[in-house]
Amino acid sequence: MTPTNGTPYTEADIEAFIREQFADNLERIMFDGGQPLTEDSKQAALNQILLYWRRMRAIATRVTDTEVRLNLPQQTSPAGRVFGIEGIVDIIREDDQTIMYDIKSHDLEYVRANTGLYQQQLNVYAHIWQELHQQQLDQTAVIATAYPDGIAEALADGNEQALEDELTRWDPLVEIEFDAGQVEATIQAFGTVVDAIEAGEFTPPSSDTLAAPMPGSRSIFGRRICRLCDVRFSCCSYREYAGLQRRRTRESTFHRYFNDYGTDRAVEVRRTARLETLSDEEMA
């Protein structure tokens, strides 16, 4: 996106460009057989991108290598299966420093509460980068683009001042310490997962786990993770969890209906009608 007349782009120009590219990319994904998104889902995804730009502009404008594809092929699992590890990251190279960023559409609280999980992945990515480019990495970090509730409420209310205040408080950058000593263990852990998949060993978490909040997050495991799984309806834990949720919904609906006496005025009208009926019966 380069100005043709020498005039710098305005903020409105940049956001219009983002919206246009988002629509084009979404159309290509649908053309390639991607799953259609609801209007709410599309708007939420677009909001994440726009808010990432507004909040992380200082980083986004300094990225020197975008969507760098990292590939570690010909790894061997504990059972002797050959597999590869692949990832995509952004790189900033400036002032003799190299920084790797992994952008995740995850909750900030969840990332902070589970930095060990992200460290494992970034350790491998950092290892691949250093092997491929023979260049030292000075820092690795995750950018968690899922915006917090305060921003969501400001967007829903259309309150621009509240949105600016919430954006100022929001810091989606989580620095992750690179530990080269853990790379081999992480690769072997990936290999163990490969063996389990190839052997058809799919042991699901319990339905209690599915119904509980994830560590460091208010999101329920079954809603956040399982709803993205294509085989969830063949999973005994998910079926049990879904059945429990349906029962709770039915009970909640029944209790709301059973305990809904209406407005005070409606209750008074019914009471008056009942008294009038009793009086008529007594008079008869």
Long-range contacts: 215-224, Cβ < 8 Å, 24+?
A: 215/110, 215/113, 215/114, 216/107, 216/109, 216/110, 216/111, 216/112, 216/113, 216/114, 217/107, 217/109, 217/110, 217/113, 218/109, 219/107, 219/110
| Bridge partners (DSSP) listed for residue 173 | 143
Cα separation, 250 vs 182, whole angstroms? 49
- Helix residue ranges, H only, 134-159: 149-157
Specify the pairing of strand 82-94 against strand 97-107.
antiparallel
Each residue's pLDDT expressed in tens, for the chain with a length of 284 residues: 555 566 778 888 999 999 999 999 988 888 877 677 788 888 989 999 999 999 999 999 999 999 999 999 999 999 999 999 999 999 999 988 999 999 998 889 889 989 999 999 999 999 999 988 888 889 999 999 988 889 999 999 999 999 999 999 999 999 999 888 889 999 999 999 999 999 988 788 999 999 999 887 778 888 888 887 888 888 999 999 988 887 766 655 544 544 444 455 554 544 455 444 444 444 34
